[in-house]
Structure 1
Amino acid sequence: MVESNVNQSQSSQARVKEHLRRPKEPILIIEDKKENQVLLEAICKRIGMDADVAEDGKIALEMAAKRPYSLYLVDLMMPVLDGKSFIREQKKLEPNAVFMIQTAIDQIDEIIEIMKMGVYDYLLKPLHVEIVADRLEKALEYVYLKRMESLLVDEESKELKSQLEWLNYKESHRKTNEVNSELHSILNLKTTLMQGSGLGAISTIIDSIQQMKVDLGKDYSINKEFWDLLYENHEHNIAMMSGLDLAVDLIQNNTNLVRTKSEDLLGLLPSLVESFRDEIIERELKVNLPVVKQSVFLDLDLESMKVAIHEIFTNGLKYSKRKSHFDVFVTFVDGYFCLSAKNNIIDDEYAKQLAQSEKKLIEPFFRIHPPVESFYSKEKFSLGLGLTMVDFILHRHNGMFFIRNAIDHTTEVKADCIIAEVFLPIQNEK
């Protein structure tokens, strides 16, 4: 009984967290039969959503003109104005609206025709409570992601202009600031080497062993605990050296750009996510990958881009708030293909430094957070070089990379987040 109550409590907490990503506007149920109206209202209430009811498409258009709705749940067969007609008219006024239809027609051709109108999903009558509740939950998550994608397009356009200005500024000041740049890199490296596992920890352990030698004289033995720590940190150092070797290889080798369809790049994402399966499960994260219908051509070196995206995923996942979402979006902005990864920020002292330091994150050896030990085996780079190499790889692709703070305004509860963005110029087919 206690275990059951605990499970119910955990399930309830999970639902509350999901509701933070819910749109605040109610669902509009468009249905002429009273019994279905009552059933659908009850299901909406069960999943924690308010709902209004319209008896036909004409009334629904009038209601939608007076207030916004998060989702339209539309019956196909209605008097006055049927479901198809309502969807066509509402799309003219609200192109990004999300529709779910309910129908008793179980014919593939008819359903395909309806889905071509841009409908998100359909429900077959008679309606089953669990199925409807599950589909509505998924639809509301889709509404959230769609709105976030739309918001990103606007923000990315501004950020793109800002980034171009920043790059021009950096180039104009590069010569005069070479000494300062080198000094900052050295200071960053010193901080990184003395932070977390690796050389800093080894120095501390060796100092402790040396003190034992002084205290015990020539007949001393190394404690097993010390040796285990030494070996563990030796492995960290090997990983550091491996990351430096990879960085040198990327810098010294030519980048072979090949005209490639964007879906080939996106095809890398599922396996990259799968490589972090254990970490995602341990942190109870939910990863949402993009579904993109538009295809464009990009000049890509897929192997080095895979390294760049792996680093972006590493950075986003290891600093994600526990039991949160890691969302990946694709947008098209001013002639660029943009791949964005968004994670919620862990609310700690380090997060407060991000706003002032976001442009420094791609500097060599710079880091705000200390290393995350549970991720060190997954990191291709260490020493604070990861985002530097992402920036380098994107430069080789004639693209841009930047990482910035943002506030998620798409839901009633605002959330601080980090967005990492890759911009690649769209090419002609040949």
Structure 2
Amino acid sequence: MVQPIEPTKNSVLKPEHLRRPKEPILIIEDKKENQVLLEGICKKIGAAYEVAENGELALEMAKKKQYSLYLVDLMMPVVDGKTFIAEQRKIEPRAVFIVQTAIDQTEEIIEIMKMGVYDYLIKPLHVEIVADRLEKTLEYVYLKRMEALLIDEESKELKSQLEWLNYKESHRKTNEVNAELNSILNLKTTLMQGSGLGVLTSIIDSIEKIKKEENGNYLIPKEYWDIISENQDHNKSMLKGLDLAVETIQSHLKLQKVSSETLLAILPDIVKDFQNELEEKEINVNLPVVKQTVTLEVDLNYFKIILHEIFTNGIKYSKTKSNFDIFVTFVDGYFCLSAKNNIIDDDYAKHLLHSEKKLVEPFYRIHPPVESFYHKEKFSLGLGLTMVDFLLHKHNGMFFIRNAIDHTTEIKASCVIAEVFLPIQT
């Protein structure tokens, strides 16, 4: 059959192509003219492909390698499309199929969908329609593989983190002095980074050297006063964030049983709240589509704060023209909401790999403050993830954040995954 092709010059390196599985599409079609048409469409969207003339040959090819999806003609000699789908489903339960049929009748379409196919195409095939369906299906395959990978990783992470939490609690009493010292050092570092007290202190020291006295008053250059005013706004924001942190710590949560569907309904409003920042950084948010509903025990008002902080942290440190993905999985009796964002592969990202568990410590920062985001942060001084961790413990849940490499596409990407675990109620 046809060897995998290189994407055409006009189709390579589009951002959306990074969210594709790395395996080729298998076109299963007996008619040469349709083969040529589908090959041309794959070239147009920059997708690699191979061709099988019938279902028997396709089954043999699928035994030897993995394909991203199967584009299947129903009417073929030797082994037809329905038989191929049934046989391949036994070997590869998660396989994704798109079928082609010339029969545009409701009963036939219902029978096709009962086979568990992802989509269908009515012949004669239209280039733009097929191209659009393939694009969407390839991204669907990517998202489903990412979900499966997360379930596997989250199960391991949950066991690892439970062991870590038990260890941390058993050593808490003996390490209280060191913990307090680390918090003080973290606070000192945070205060001296970015705008706020650090800059204000430096500016006042500079003014001391250049100020002039006239008629009993000090004269200060306008540019210095403008910087002082700007940093005063940052200081007020920091104090407001500290006040909210104290208020949150002293609050009593009202946990109520709600459906996971109700909880996830919060997400679209949070996306709207970050619309300007998303447009500025050209970040695309992908929300989950969840068919399973479970019962959770949450305080919805405080859970909104948890989600807001996760979005703040994720969007703030995402690289431009990237994706911010939300996944929902169910792991060992827990409802897990995962937020995945791509990050710039720099020295800060390398440092993150060795400091994951420190990120929830009070005042701890890896990245310097992002000045353009200070007005979006509910909590200041690096307390955002600390409060997320605190509130999730109040919900009898857990919060983990970890560095990861996305291996699901041909181009590997550094990313951060923030995970919220809530126990499922019976």
TM-score, normalised to structure 2, is 0.93
Residue 380 of structure 1, CA deviation: 1.0
The Cα of 1:164 is off from its aligned counterpart by 0.3
User: Equivalent residue for 2:390?
Assistant: 392
Look up the SS of the partner of 2:66 in the other structure. coil
The number of residue pairs the alignment matches comes to 418
Identical counterparts, % of pairs: 74
Amino acid at match of 1:244: L
Secondary structure class of the residue paired with 1:305: helix
Among 410, 413, 423, the alignment partner of 2:411 is 413
- Aligned residue among 239, 242, 264 for 2:240: 242
Summarize deviations over 1:104-127 as a string: whole Å, max 9, x none.
333445434433443222222221
Query: Matched residues in 2 for 1:206 and 1:171: separation?
Result: 44
Residue of structure 2 aligned with 1:85, choices 79, 83, 86: 83
- In the alignment, the residues of structure 1 paired with residue 369 and residue 284 of structure 2 have an alpha-carbon distance, to the nearest angstrom, of 23
Unaligned runs of 5+ in 2: 1-8
Separation of aligned partners in 1, 2:63 and 2:247: 59
> Over residues 204-254 of structure 1, what are the superposed CA-to-partner deviations in whole Å (9 max), with x where a residue is unaligned?
222233323258794543333222222222221222122122212221111
Report the Cα distance in structure 1 between the residues aligned to 2:25 and 2:151, rounded to whole angstroms.
Answer: 25
Structure 1 residues 186, 112: CA separation in 2 closer, same or farther (over 3 Å shift)? farther
Q: CA deviation at 1:393?
A: 0.9
**Structure 1's 217 and 23: CA in aligned 2 closer, same or farther, altered over 3 A?**
farther
The residue number in structure 1 matching 2:288 is 290
Choose which of 62, 67, 70 in structure 2 pairs with 1:64.
62
- 3-state DSSP of counterpart to 2:288: coil
Worse-superposed segment, 193-202 or 172-181: 193-202
CA positional deviation for 1:178:
0.7
Q: 1:145 aligns with which of 143, 146, 150?
A: 143
1:327-369 deviation digits (Å, cap 9, x = unpaired): 1111111111111111112122212211111110000000010
Pick the aligned partner of 1:207 from 202, 205, 208.
205
From the superposition, tell whether residues 344 and 216 of structure 1 become closer, same or farther in structure 2 (CA, over 3 Å): farther
Per the TM alignment, residue 180 of structure 1 is displaced from its structure 2 partner at its CA by 0.8
Which of 246, 252, 255 aligns to 1:254? It is: 252
Q: Quick one: distance in 1 between partners of 2:94 and 2:359?
A: 35
C-alpha distance 385-116 of structure 1, shift in aligned 2 (>3 A): farther
| 1:426 counterpart = 2:424 | yes
Given the superposition, is the C-alpha separation of residues 215 and 102 from structure 1 closer, same or farther in structure 2, using an over 3 Å criterion? farther
Question: Matches of 1:268 and 1:175 in 2, distance apart?
Answer: 38
1:361/1:367 contact within 8 Å kept: yes
Deviations 1:72-101 (A, max 9, x none): 112233344333332222222111111122
Q: CA deviation at 1:49?
A: 1.8
Q: Residue 206 of structure 1: SS of its match in structure 2?
A: helix
Contact 2:212–2:218 (8 Å) recurs in 1: no
Q: Tell me the equivalent position of 2:178.
A: 180
In structure 2, how many angstroms separate the alpha carbons of the residues matched to 1:123 and 1:66? 27
Structure 1 residue identity aligned to 2:193: Q
Structure 1 unaligned residues grouped into runs of 5+: 1-8
Work out which of the residue numbers 311, 318, 322 in structure 2 matches 1:324.
322
SS for the counterpart of 2:365 is: coil
Query: What one-letter code is carried by the residue in structure 1 that aligns with 2:310?
Result: I
Which amino acid is 2:419 matched to? E
- Specify the SS of the correspondent of 1:241: helix
Instruction: Name the residue aligned to 2:5.
Output: none
Cα shift at 1:170: 0.6
Query: Are the counterparts in 2 of residues 28 and 73 from structure 1 also a CA contact under 8 Å?
Result: yes
Q: Which residue of 2 aligns with 1:6?
A: none
Q: What SS does the corresponding residue of 1:356 show, helix, strand or coil?
A: coil
Kindly state the Cα deviation for residue 195 of structure 1 after the two structures are TM-superposed: 0.8
Q: In 2, distance between residues paired with 1:290 and 1:327?
A: 8
What do residues 294-328 of structure 1 show as CA deviations (whole Å, max 9, x unaligned)?
Answer: 11111111111111111111111111112122111
Q: Distance in 2 between matches of 1:35 and 1:294?
A: 43
RMSD value, Cα: 2.0
1:244-393 aligned at under 5 Å gives the runs 244-393=242-391
Give the CA deviation at 1:174: 0.5
- SS of structure 2 residue aligned to 1:339: strand
Structure 1, 209-218 or 255-264: larger mean CA deviation: 209-218
The answer as to whether partners of 1:212 and 1:220 remain within 8 angstroms in 2 is no
Kindly provide the amino acid, as one letter, of the partner of residue 250 in structure 2: Q
| Aligned mates of 1:421, 1:347 — CA distance in 2 | 21
Question: Bigger CA drift: 90-99 or 102-111?
Answer: 102-111
Alignment of 1:90-101 (within 5 A): 90-101=88-99
C-alpha spacing 1:210/1:113, structure 2 compared with 1 (3 Å): farther
Distance 1:364 1:211 in 2: 36
Q: Classify the secondary structure of the residue corresponding to 1:68.
A: coil
Deviation track 1:14-68 (CA, whole Å, cap 9, x = no partner) reads: 51x3333332211011223221111001111222222122233333222212221
C-alpha offsets along residues 256-278 of structure 1, whole Å, 9 cap, x if unaligned? 11111111111111221121111
What secondary structure, in the 3-state scheme, does the structure 2 residue paired with 1:291 have? coil
C-alpha distance in 2 between matches for 1:225 and 1:47: 53
- In the alignment, is the contact (CA less than 8 A) between 2:403 and 2:415 conserved in 1? yes
Q: Tell me, yes or no, if the aligned pair for 1:73 and 1:102 is still in contact at 8 Å.
A: yes
> Is the 8 Å Cα contact of residues 213 and 219 (structure 2) preserved in structure 1?
no
Amino acid at match of 1:42: G
Structure 1 residues 108, 18: CA separation in 2 closer, same or farther (over 3 Å shift)?
A: same
